[in-house]
Amino acid sequence: MPLFSHRHPSSSAIPTTINPKTSKPSKPNFIPPSTRYPLPLLVFSLISLLIGLSGTIFAISAIRRPKPVPVFRCGRSEDTFRAFYSGSGRTRGDDNGALIDRPKLLGFVGIQTGFESGDRRAALRSTWFPSDPDGLLRLEQATGLAFRYVIGRSKDAKKMAQLEKEVDKYRDFMLIDVEEEYLKLPYKTLAFFKAAFKLFEADYYIKADDDIYLRPDRLATLLAKERTHSLTYIGCMKKGPVITDPKMKWYEKSGHLIGNEYFLHAYGPMYVLSAEVVASLASARNNSLRMFSNEDVTIGSWMLAMNVYHEDNRAICDPRCTPTSIAVWDIPKCSGLCNPASRMKELHKIDMCSKSPTLPPDDR
């Protein structure tokens, strides 16, 4: 009988071969695609690829995205000088060129100014106060003292716009979050010390007005002197009768709390507080300190309460330029220089004011 090859109906799609040795049919070495690459493996690979691409794109965009410019602030108070250097990419700060959030200084000098004092600032910038950021930086490096004009804010949009132009030009301001008003000078002074302490780490904090002629090198020499008192208040100390007549300039509304004569306190155009004193003021709660009508009296009352050491130094209030004068103003005729915009330039032309050598600190 002939030999027939029988096929199962379900196997018609799979060809068979005959092994000559065994005479038995065998299947070829063929694996369907669905068996070689399972569907779950394909899905997992696709998801992994998408995650990897997303991570790569994010990393590239993060590297290329410009870093935000740091703004040196304490609340709404701002140091425009350091903000300028951080944004310009110039070197300022430590030896590696990194900007320091709270730079360490011998002293921080806040030149108190106002919206109506543009002529005074112009006179200062043409005399002892540098007129450009690099010059201000060089003065800081030479003396260990940082200098800023300190000004509050105004509800007058025009005044704020003019101030913004001056800030953009000179970058030498510390803007503080207080309304700029003469009758609120004690509040401005406290706001200044609080902001200065948060923005700068200094051994001393100096309040000065914009109508005095100052020798920064001699001020640095004074502050570098060794002292045994950590709580120190340096200035030209005075006493005097309390003004109770509302028609007079230095009228003290709360004079009944003081008595007939003022306690010992420094003249307002310039005085120095040590770091520990300012630290206490910076931590004081709002409305916890007595405010008198006059700023210098207000500060003096706080110094009595804090049991500080009063250091009287007449070189801070010299009426003329001398070999030892640190600050010059027309005491007692004016609180500061009389006609400061012109007097400042006159004093700067005198070699004794601007060019005389700095003397070493005395042994007192």
In CATH, which of 3.40.50, 3.90.550, 1.10.1760, 2.40.50 is domain 76-85+104-351? 3.90.550
Domain boundaries, the chain: 76-85+104-351
pLDDT in tens, 311-354: 999 999 999 999 999 999 998 889 999 999 999 999 999 999 99
The CA dihedral of 103, 109, 114, 116, to the nearest 10 degrees, is: -120
Contacts of 289 (CB under 8 A, 6+ apart): 190, 281, 298, 302
CA distance 362 to 235: 16
Q: Which of 132-146, 215-229, 243-257, 271-285 has the lowest mean pLDDT?
A: 243-257
pLDDT at 291 over 70: yes
CA distance 131 to 113: 16
> Which helix H or strand E contains 118, and what residues bound it?
helix 118-125
> Which tokens belong to 127?
């005399």
CA distance 212 to 338: 9
Cα radius of gyration rounded to whole Å, the chain: 38
CA distance 54 to 7: 55
Q: Are 318 and 327 in contact (CB under 8 A)?
A: yes
Instruction: Grade residue 4 by pLDDT with cuts at 50, 70 and 90.
Output: very low
pLDDT in tens, 82-115: 888 876 555 444 444 445 577 899 999 999 999 9
Please tell me whether residue 287 adopts helix, strand or coil conformation: coil
Per-residue HEC secondary structure of 200-223 comes to: CEEEEEEEEECCCEECHHHHHHHH
Query: Percentage of residues in the chain with pLDDT exceeding 70?
Result: 77
